[in-house]
């Protein structure tokens, strides 16, 4: 079973070359000059977002019968470098994830394989979570972590977050903002349904990304 991030259609954007033609898919020198092609992705809530095709595979999850997955989008009015500087800090997720009250790195130094232990604020059905950094790609702006232990109900949780610049405007101009796409897969806790689990996790992720947007936009104005 694939992720709930569904591709609506491929939207190939042709760009004019210096000789007046369009870029050809078979010419190596033209392929190097092509801008990323875009796909229109949709999550379970019906939200649609243009997504660079080269990032799509990060959000294709293998989902078992006792698991669920979902995807949340967030547009941010700040440059991608500003947003990424917050997202990439595996040792400081509580800077924008306000459901966390503290984080301690217990193994590693920020490279893939680093382990952190986060503690959750009171009022949630969790106390702590031990998490492993799976992907940290500064070039493609991709970060992924998995939950490997702790006192919580979200077992086998894995999250992937990608950032890309806002899609080109209708007149062909480059986008100045950032779009964050976060997808996850997680076991459905005993006694809960797929819908209940996704609704709960979606709410947490959405609040985190809204907080990220507020902080990044505030920093960009300084």
Q: Is the pLDDT of residue 14 over 70?
A: no
Q: Is the pLDDT of residue 43 over 80?
A: no
Rounded to the nearest integer, the mean pLDDT of the chain is: 83
**Domain residues of the chain, as ranges?**
58-221
pLDDT digits (tens, 9 = 90+) for 118-154: 999 988 888 999 999 999 999 999 999 999 999 998 9
Cα–Cα distance list, 44 to 38, 47, 109, 204 (Å): 20, 7, 36, 16
> Cβ contacts of residue 193 below 8 Å, gap of 6+?
none
Q: What is the mean pLDDT of residues 174-189?
A: 90
Cα–Cα distance list, 79 to 51, 69, 177 (Å): 17, 28, 5
Q: Is the pLDDT of residue 40 over 90?
A: no
Q: What is the mean pLDDT of residues 16-20?
A: 33
pLDDT at 174: 59
pLDDT at 18: 33
> Residue 173: which pLDDT band, with cuts at 50, 70 and 90?
low
Q: Is the pLDDT of residue 34 over 70?
A: no
Q: Which CATH superfamily is domain 58-221 in?
A: START domain (3.30.530.20)
Q: Is the pLDDT of residue 5 over 70?
A: no
Q: Is the pLDDT of residue 17 over 50?
A: no
What percentage of residues in the chain have a pLDDT greater than 90? Answer: 65
42 or 16: which carries more pLDDT confidence? 42
pLDDT at 172: 57
Q: Is the pLDDT of residue 116 over 60?
A: yes
> Residue 10: which pLDDT band, with cuts at 50, 70 and 90?
very low
pTM value is 0.82
Q: Is the pLDDT of residue 31 over 50?
A: no
């Amino acid at each position: 079973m694939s992720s709930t991030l569904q591709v609506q259609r491929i939207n190939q954007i042709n760009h004019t070359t210096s000789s007046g033609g369009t870029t050809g898919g078979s010419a190596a020198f033209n392929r190097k000059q092509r801008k990323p092609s875009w796909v229109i992705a949709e999550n379970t809530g019906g939200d649609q977002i243009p997504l660079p095709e080269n990032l799509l595979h990060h959000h294709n999850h293998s989902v078992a019968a006792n698991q669920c997955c979902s995807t949340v989008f967030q547009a941010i009015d700040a440059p991608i470098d500003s947003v990424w500087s917050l997202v990439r800090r595996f040792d400081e997720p509580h800077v924008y994830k306000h459901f966390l009250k503290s984080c301690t790195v217990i193994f590693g130094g920020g490279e893939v394989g680093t382990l952190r232990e986060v503690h959750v604020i009171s009022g949630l059905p969790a106390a702590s979570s031990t998490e492993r950094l799976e992907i940290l790609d500064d070039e493609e702006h991709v970060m992924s972590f998995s939950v490997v232990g702790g006192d919580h109900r979200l077992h086998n949780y894995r999250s992937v977050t990608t950032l890309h610049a806002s899609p080109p405007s209708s007149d062909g101009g480059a986008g100045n903002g950032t779009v964050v796409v976060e997808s996850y897969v997680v076991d459905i806790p005993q006694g809960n349904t797929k819908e209940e689990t996704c609704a709960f996790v979606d709410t947490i992720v959405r609040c985190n990304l809204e907080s990220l947007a507020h902080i990044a936009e505030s920093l960009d104005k300084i």
